[in-house]
């Protein structure tokens, strides 16, 4: 274990759960209850027999009592593949990689929770393009593999969320839960974010990493601001008026992300990179469960 | 068009250098601190309305651009103060008294030394853009085109010659006339005279023991100013002409310091030279004697072309004048109808009926001043040409000397008014330089579209009178109107201080522009990083 993922951090993850409203068909036996009955071991209900039903499910004891055929319906328990799309662009590594650290911790939390639930997890870093993934990790013991993968991540250039998520969408993946962990600072703006998120054929959760300095920068005077990803610069005289317009732009951006999440039916989580990630996540999981 | 006496190309060069300097300053300006940010998305939105950091970003809005250009133009105008022709550059004529009175002592040293010192101080205060001429001993010691250091050297080399300061003042007035924004400043031991209009007079008293002849004037009669620095006994003032009987008047005892004008009756204005003396002489006899040339107010004749309407106007307008032929069919002699004999005063004004030297009808005078300088031969003929046409000629070899003007100058063409004025200015200098030929001056006034050519006067105390008036309407007239020289100049030539006061309009504009720039800079600095 490293400083990034301490024993305490990993240990605290076991109490969290992700609960999906719908689970994709197929897959492995896990802990997510499917909406339709299946071949599990827990009894759910009876249903009158109709021709064509599997006669193996007929409850013969009821037939003996009522002389009518009933089927025993059992719960279907499946896994929920979890795909974590992790932003590793240069902006995430600015200021001692605070944003990247928080993002990787978020990814670790999601991976740990999923692995605890016997779900399959894969981490897909992206920046200017979709990077090499961690591969599918299964089983609780796979967490160390995920953590090792997260530790080894490097800056991946500028953010091109549309290209990256577009490539992911074209991968032959079983439907599952896609969690996009990013600051969503794409130079192409919110339109690119919407185009990227819209193309994902999965359950989607957006984890936006925010910093207090994003909303309320503590700079003043004449500055040459340099985009850490593109290198482009803007000379600005920071005045109260400019700051007011800046805050308005940030608020508009945040509102835009919320609208994108709402239109897409995605869960939107915000993680403050200036605070410890785990307590924030505990707060985002009511009763320890995050329903997506 | 001149800019503080600098040529247009020099101005262009200066502006180019300024532009280069501004461009360099723009790139060498203090660079702002660099701050790396995760994204510029929000900053671009925040500053898209206020960004003006690039060289031309400030000029995106036409109104701003127009205002900046206007401000820059106002500043350039104020700095350059553009003028046309002689323009704003002042012509300063410095007159130093080198009369006998200057030989007296002042604080134990020759008074001339004190005059020179005062004149040097005055000269140092004259702005460099102004042109200075030095007049002393009734002659032009240094003309306007003489460099300032040379003027200073010639000033230092002045010696007392005994010439009347009044005559020097006349020379200075003649020199100043025809120039715009001209003034005359006199440093003299005596004076000022009664008629000092248009002249700044600095009198430096000597410490002579009793009395001295301060100034000699001739208005309607001979007037002598007797200066007294202490109580003195009664004396006599004796006027001795070179030929003829002497006249004397009593000078009463004077206890108070200062001077008094004495009128000497019975001295005619006949052009003779007289010696004015206080008798008996006191401890400083050199300032008790002065030589003076009486003006010549006797009737005189001027030869003009009788076929010209202007000449007829002259004869018709002045009832004192009659026309008479002297045997030349194409000319008539105009003489004063004062009953006296017709006397040829030494100047013939001949207005030719056609352009001289087969001159073309149109004359171009783009650089008339230079043309004058190059064509004035100084001996024999002196002529002025414009383009390939002779506009004016003075024949000094003839007796009497003849002044000939091209009739084209008086044509009904308003565009030639300036040409006429230029000719008059040339005449003023040429005739003055030829002092041995013509004792007088021709001056010109140019106001709006009217040119006034002033008189040739052979009097000792010259009172130039306009002899020709031409305006844009082609109304060419020749007349004796009796206006004094300063009136003919038409500008306030009395300027005791070399430096002028007040602001011109573009200077006000520049001040406003600078104030706006200062406020803008202050607001800009307030926003800078400490």
Of B40, B45, B528, the CB nearest to A245: B45
pLDDT at B362 over 70: no
Helix, strand counts (H, E) of chain A: 9, 13
Residue B90: predicted pLDDT:
80
Chain A: residue whose CA lies nearest to B41: A187
What is the end-to-end Cα distance of chain B in Å, rounded? 47
Q: Could A187 and B41 be called an inter-chain contact, meaning their C-beta atoms sit closer than 8 Å?
A: yes
Q: Is the pLDDT of residue A3 over 60?
A: no
pLDDT for residue A203 is more than 70? yes
> Residue A246 is nearest to which of B38, B46, B51, comparing CB atoms?
B46
Of A94, A228, A245, the CB nearest to B46: A245
Of B32, B37, B46, the CB nearest to A222: B32
pLDDT band at residue B376 using 50, 70 and 90 as cut-offs: very low
Closest CA to B161 of B192, B196, B135, B143: B135
Domain boundaries, chain A: 7-19+80-212+265-291, 37-75
Q: Which of B38, B47, B53 sits opposite A242 (nearest CB)?
A: B47
Helix (H, G, I), strand (E, B) or coil at B169: helix
Q: What is the mean pLDDT of chain B?
A: 61
Q: Are B204 and B254 in contact (CB under 8 A)?
A: no
pLDDT at residue A260, as a whole number: 92
Do the Cβ atoms of A183 and A99 come closer than 8 Å? yes
Which CATH code is given to the segment(s) B91-293? 3.40.50
Please name the member of B36, B45, B51 whose beta carbon is closest to the beta carbon of A226.
B36
Of B36, B38, B527, the CB nearest to A222: B527
Distance from CA of B68 to the nearest CA of A (A): 21
Per residue in B408-466, pLDDT (tens digit) is 454 444 444 445 545 555 554 554 443 332 333 333 333 344 444 443 333 322 333 33
CA-nearest residue of chain B to A224? Answer: B34
- B37/A227 Cβ within 8 A: yes
What is the rounded distance in angstroms from the CA atom of residue A249 to the CA atom of residue A229? 20
pLDDT of residue A5: 64
B126 pLDDT band, cuts 50/70/90, is confident
- Comparing A225-234, B85-94, B128-137, B297-306, the range with the smallest average pLDDT is B297-306
Write out chain B residues lying below 8 Å of A98, CB-based. Answer: none
pLDDT at B22 over 60: yes
CA of A183: which chain B residue's CA is closest?
B38
CA dist list (Å): B486 to B347, B435, B453: 23, 21, 13
Inter-chain residue contact B36 with A224, CB threshold 8 Å:
no
Q: Which comes out higher in pLDDT, residue A151 or B192?
A: A151
Whole-number pLDDT of residue A37: 66
CA-nearest residue to B43 within chain A is: A246
In this predicted structure, what is the pLDDT of residue A4? 61
Shortest CA distance to A86 belongs to which of A271, A232, A231, A252? Answer: A271
Q: Residue A15 — very low, low, confident or very high, per pLDDT cuts 50/70/90?
A: low
Give strand pairing partners of B134. Answer: B94, B142
A43, A72 in Cβ contact below 8 A?
A: yes
Model pLDDT for residues A223-239, shown as the tens digit of each residue: 888 888 888 888 888 88
**CB nearest A246 (choices: B42, B53, B529):** B42
Contact residues, chain B, for A220 at CB < 8 Å = 529
Closest chain A C-alpha to B21 CA, distance in angstroms: 23
**Range picked from B39-48, B309-318, B407-416 for highest mean pLDDT:** B39-48
Q: For position A116, what pLDDT does the model report?
A: 80
pLDDT of amino acid A259: 92
Which residue matches tokens 């003649």?
B174
Q: Identify the helix (H) or strand (E) that includes residue B70.
A: helix B62-80
Count of C-beta atoms within a 10 Å radius of residue B413: 16
Task: Work out the average pLDDT over A162-176.
Answer: 86
Asked whether A88 and A101 are in contact (CB, 8 A), the reply is no
Q: Give Cα separations from B148 to B55, B92, B114, B125, B338 (angstroms).
A: 44, 12, 20, 12, 48
Query: Hey, is B13 helix, strand or coil?
Result: helix
Residue B234 CB partners (closer than 8 Å, separation 6+) = B250, B251, B252, B253
> pLDDT value at position B346?
33
CB contacts, 8 Å: A252 with chain B: 45
Residue whose tokens read 């897909």: A124
Nearest-Cα distance to chain B for A53, in Å, is 59
Least confident among B52-61, B111-120, B466-475: B466-475
Select from A242, A259, A162 the least CA-distant residue to B44: A242
| Range in A39-53, A116-130, A158-172, B192-206 with the lowest mean pLDDT | B192-206
Distances (CA, A) of A243 to A196, A212, A240, A257, B49: 30, 14, 5, 21, 13
Q: Which residue in the set B38, B51, B527 is minimally distant from A221, CB to CB?
A: B527
Q: If pLDDT is split at 50, 70 and 90, which confidence band does A255 have?
A: very high
Please say whether the beta carbons of A189 and A250 come within 8 A: no
With CB atoms and an 8 Å threshold, state whether B50 touches A233.
no
Element (H, E) at B182: strand B182-188
- Contacts with A127 from chain B: Cβ below 8 Å: none
The reported pLDDT for the residue numbered B403 is 54
A242–B36 CB contact, under 8 Å = no
Report helix, strand or coil for B133: strand
* pLDDT at residue A45, rounded to an integer: 81
Give Cβ neighbours of residue A286 (< 8 Å, ≥ 6 apart): none
Q: Helix, strand, or coil here: B331?
A: strand
Bigger pLDDT: A292 vs A152: A152
CA-nearest residue to A232 within chain B is: B40
- CB spacing of B33 vs A222 below 8 angstroms: yes
Q: Do B181 and B491 touch, CB atoms closer than 8 A?
A: yes
User: For the segment A34-57, what is each residue's pLDDT rounded down to a tens digit?
Assistant: 666 666 667 778 888 888 888 888
B→A interface, C-beta within 8 Å: 31-47, 49-51, 53, 527-530
Question: Would you list the domain boundaries of chain B?
Answer: 2-30+37-84, 91-293, 301-489
Alpha-carbon gap, residue B472 to B469, rounded angstroms: 10
Q: Do B32 and A224 touch (CB under 8 A)?
A: yes
* Average pLDDT, integer, range A249-261: 92
Question: What value does the mean pLDDT take over residues B288-312?
Answer: 59
CA distance to partner chain A, nearest, from residue B517 (Å): 18
CATH class of A7-19+80-212+265-291: alpha beta
| Closest CA of chain B from A114, distance in Å | 31
What is the average per-residue pLDDT within B71-88? 63
**Residue A124 pLDDT:** 92
According to DSSP, the residues that pair with B403 across neighbouring strands are: B349, B394
pLDDT recorded at residue A253: 92
With CB atoms and an 8 Å threshold, state whether B38 touches A253: no
Burial A175-201 (b: 16+ CB within 10 A, else e): bbbbbbbbbbbbbeebebbbebbeebe
Chain A neighbors of B41, CB-CB under 8 A: 185, 187, 189, 249, 253
Cβ atoms of residues B433 and B378 within 8 Å: yes
Burial class (CB in 10 A: 0-12, 13-18, 19+), B210: buried
Q: How many CA atoms lie within 13 A of B175 on its CB side?
A: 33
Picking from A224, A243, A252, the nearest residue to B34 by CB comes out as: A224
The C-alpha of B516 sits at a distance from chain A's nearest C-alpha, in angstroms, of 20
| Chain A contact residues (CB < 8 Å to B) | 91, 94, 99, 183, 185, 187, 189, 214, 217, 219-230, 232-237, 239, 241-243, 245-246, 248-250, 252-253
Distance from CA of A6 to the nearest CA of B (A): 27
Question: ipTM of this model?
Answer: 0.77
Tokens of B411: 């044509």
The answer to whether the Cβ–Cβ distance between B36 and A228 falls below 8 Å is yes
Nearest CA in chain A to B529: A221
Instruction: Kindly indicate the confidence band of residue B209, based on its pLDDT and cuts at 50, 70 and 90.
Output: very low
Confidence grade of residue B28 (pLDDT, cut at 50, 70, 90): low
Residue A88: the pLDDT is 92
Please list, in sequence order, all residues whose beta carbon lies within 8 angstroms of the beta carbon of residue A202, skipping any fewer than 6 positions away.
A83, A173, A175, A176, A177, A178
Q: Which of A14-18, B218-222, B420-424 has the lowest mean pLDDT?
A: B420-424
H-only helix segments in A117-239: 143-151, 161-169, 190-198, 212-215
Highest mean pLDDT among A77-81, B246-250, B301-305 belongs to B246-250
Q: Is A88 exposed, middle or buried (0-12, 13-18, 19+ CB in 10 A)?
A: buried
Nearest CA in chain A to B35: A225
Q: What is the C-alpha separation between B472 and B475, in angstroms, rounded?
A: 7
For residue B341, what pLDDT band results from cuts at 50, 70 and 90?
Answer: very low
Q: Is the pLDDT of residue B481 over 70?
A: no
B486 has pLDDT over 50: no
Cross-chain Cβ contact A228/B38 below 8 Å: yes
Of the ranges A109-118, B291-300, B444-453, the best mean pLDDT one:
A109-118
Q: Which two tokens stand for residue A31?
A: 């802990």
């Amino acid at each position: 274990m490293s400083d990034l993922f301490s024993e305490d951090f990993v240990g605290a993850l076991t109490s969290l759960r992700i609960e999906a409203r719908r689970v994709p068909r197929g897959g492995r036996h896990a802990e997510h209850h499917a909406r339709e009955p299946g071949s599990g071991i827990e009894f759910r209900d009876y249903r009158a027999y109709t021709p064509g039903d599997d006669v193996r499910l007929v409850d013969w004891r009821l037939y003996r009592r009522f002389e009518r055929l009933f089927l025993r319906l059992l719960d279907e328990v499946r896994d929920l593949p979890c795909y974590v799309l992790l932003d590793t662009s240069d902006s995430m590594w600015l200021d001692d990689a605070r944003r990247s650290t928080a993002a990787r911790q978020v990814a670790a939390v999601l991976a740990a929770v999923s692995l605890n639930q016997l779900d399959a997890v894969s981490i897909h870093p992206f920046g200017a393009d979709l990077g090499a993934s961690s591969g599918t990790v299964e089983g609780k013991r796979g967490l160390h593999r995920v953590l090792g993968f997260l530790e080894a991540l490097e800056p991946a250039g500028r953010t091109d969320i549309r290209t990256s998520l577009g490539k992911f969408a074209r991968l032959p993946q079983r439907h599952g839960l896609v969690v996009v962990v990013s600051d969503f600072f794409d130079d192409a703006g919110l339109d690119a974010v919407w185009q990227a998120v819209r193309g994902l054929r999965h359950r989607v959760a957006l984890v936006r990493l925010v910093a207090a300095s994003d909303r309320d920068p503590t700079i003043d005077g004449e500055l040459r601001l340099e985009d850490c990803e593109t290198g482009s610069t803007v000379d600005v005289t920071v005045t109260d008026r400019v700051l007011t317009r800046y805050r308005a732009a940030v608020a508009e951006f945040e509102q835009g992300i919320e609208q994108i999440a709402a239109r897409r039916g995605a869960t939107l989580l915000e993680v403050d990179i200036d605070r410890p990630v785990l307590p924030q996540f505990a707060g985002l999981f009511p009763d320890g469960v995050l329903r997506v | 068009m001149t800019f503080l006496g600098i040529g247009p190309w020099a101005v262009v060069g200066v502006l180019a250098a300024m532009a280069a300097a501004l461009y360099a300053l723009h790139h060498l300006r203090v660079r702002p601190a660099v701050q790396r940010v995760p994204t510029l998305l929000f900053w671009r939105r925040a500053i898209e309305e206020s960004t003006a950091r690039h060289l031309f970003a400030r000029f995106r809005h036409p109104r701003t651009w127009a205002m900046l250009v206007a401000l820059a133009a106002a500043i350039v105008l104020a700095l350059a103060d553009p003028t046309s022709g002689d323009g704003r550059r002042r012509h300063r004529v410095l007159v130093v008294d080198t009369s006998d009175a200057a030989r007296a002592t002042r604080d134990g040293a020759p008074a001339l030394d004190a005059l020179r010192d005062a004149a040097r101080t005055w000269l140092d205060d004259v702005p460099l853009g102004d042109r200075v001429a030095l007049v002393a001993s009734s002659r032009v010691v240094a003309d306007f085109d003489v460099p300032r250091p040379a003027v200073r050297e010639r000033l230092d080399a002045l010696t007392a010659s005994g010439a009347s300061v009044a005559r020097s003042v006349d020379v200075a007035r003649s020199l100043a006339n025809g120039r715009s924004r001209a003034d005359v400043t006199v440093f003299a031991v005596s004076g000022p005279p009664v008629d000092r209009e248009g002249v700044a007079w600095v009198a430096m008293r000597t410490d002579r023991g009793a009395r001295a002849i301060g100034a000699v004037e001739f208005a309607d009669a001979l007037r002598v100013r007797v200066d007294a620095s202490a109580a003195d006994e009664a004396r006599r003032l004796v006027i001795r002409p070179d030929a003829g009987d002497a006249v004397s008047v009593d000078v009463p005892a004077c206890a108070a310091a200062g001077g008094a004008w004495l009128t000497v009756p019975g001295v005619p204005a006949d052009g003779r030279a007289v010696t004015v003396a206080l008798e008996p002489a006191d401890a400083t006899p050199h300032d008790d004697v002065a030589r003076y040339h009486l003006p010549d107010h006797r009737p005189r004749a001027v030869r003009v072309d009788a076929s010209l309407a202007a000449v007829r106007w002259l004869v018709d307008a002045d009832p004192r004048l009659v026309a008479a032929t002297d045997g030349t069919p194409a000319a008539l002699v105009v003489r004063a109808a004062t009953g006296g004999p017709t006397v040829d005063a030494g100047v013939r004004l001949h207005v030719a009926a056609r352009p001289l030297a087969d001159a073309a009808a149109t004359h171009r005078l783009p650089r008339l001043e230079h043309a004058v300088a190059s064509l004035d031969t100084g001996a024999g003929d002196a002529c002025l040409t414009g383009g390939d046409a002779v506009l004016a000629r003075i024949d000094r070899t003839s007796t009497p000397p003849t002044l000939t003007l091209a009739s084209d100058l008086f044509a009904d063409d308003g565009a030639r008014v300036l040409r006429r004025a230029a000719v008059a200015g040339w005449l003023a200098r040429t005739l003055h330089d030829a002092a041995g030929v013509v004792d007088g001056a021709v001056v010109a006034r140019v106001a709006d579209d009217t040119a006034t050519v002033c008189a040739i006067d052979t009097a000792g105390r010259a009172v130039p009178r306009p002899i020709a008036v031409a305006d844009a309407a082609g109304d060419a007239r020749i007349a004796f109107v009796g206006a004094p020289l300063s009136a003919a100049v038409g500008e306030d030539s009395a300027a005791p201080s070399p430096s002028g006061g007040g602001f011109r309009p573009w200077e006000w504009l520049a001040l406003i522009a600078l104030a706006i720039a200062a406020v803008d800079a202050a607001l800009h600095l307030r926003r800078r990083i400490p």
